Amino acid sequence: MTRVYYFSGSGHSKAVADYLASRLETNAAELTSYEGEFAAVAVVVFPVYCQNLPPMVKAFLRSLQADHAALVATYGGFSPGNVLQEGAKLTAATVIAGACIPTGHSFLREAAVFDTPALEPLLARIRYPEEAVFPRLRKNPFSDLLPAWRSRIGLKICKNQSCTACGVCAKLCPMSAMENGTPTHKCIRCLRCVSNCPQNALVIRSTLPMKLYLNRKRSPKLYLFL
The SS3 call for residue 4 is: strand
Given a cut of 90, whether residue 146 has pLDDT beyond it is: no
In this prediction, residue 105 has a pLDDT band, given cuts at 50, 70 and 90, of: very high
What digits encode the pLDDT tens for the residues 180-209? 999 999 999 999 999 999 999 999 999 998
List the beta bridge partners of residue 33. none
Enclosing H/E stretch for 32: none
Decide if pLDDT at 68 tops 90. yes
So what's the pLDDT on residue 175?
94
What per-residue confidence (pLDDT) applies to 24?
Answer: 97
| Interval 157-179: pLDDT, tens | 999 999 999 999 999 999 999 99
Helix (H) or strand (E) holding 92: none
- Model confidence band, residue 151 (pLDDT cutoffs 50, 70, 90): confident
Amino acid 147: pLDDT:
82
**Per-residue model confidence as pLDDT tens digits over 130-143:** 999 999 999 988 88
- Mean pLDDT for the chain overall: 94
% of the chain beyond a pLDDT of 90: 87
What value does the mean pLDDT take over residues 28-47? 95
Every domain of the chain with CATH number 3.40.50.360 lies at 2-139+219-225
Task: Give dist(CA 42, CA 196) in Å, integer.
Answer: 27
**Which of the following CATH numbers is that of domain 2-139+219-225: 3.40.190.10, 3.40.50.300, 3.40.50.360, 3.40.30.10?**
3.40.50.360
Tell me which amino acid residue 64 is.
L
CATH 3.30.70.20 fits 147-214, yes or no: yes
Round to whole Å and give the CA distance between 41 and 152: 36
pLDDT at 177: 94
Could you give the count of Cα atoms lying within 13 Å of 100 in the half-sphere of its Cβ? Answer: 26
Is a pLDDT exceeding 90 seen at residue 43?
Answer: yes
Q: Which residue ranges does the chain devote to CATH 3.30.70.20?
A: 147-214
CA pair distance 6, 174, nearest whole angstrom: 13
Angle made by CA atoms 116, 120, 123, in degrees to the nearest 5: 110
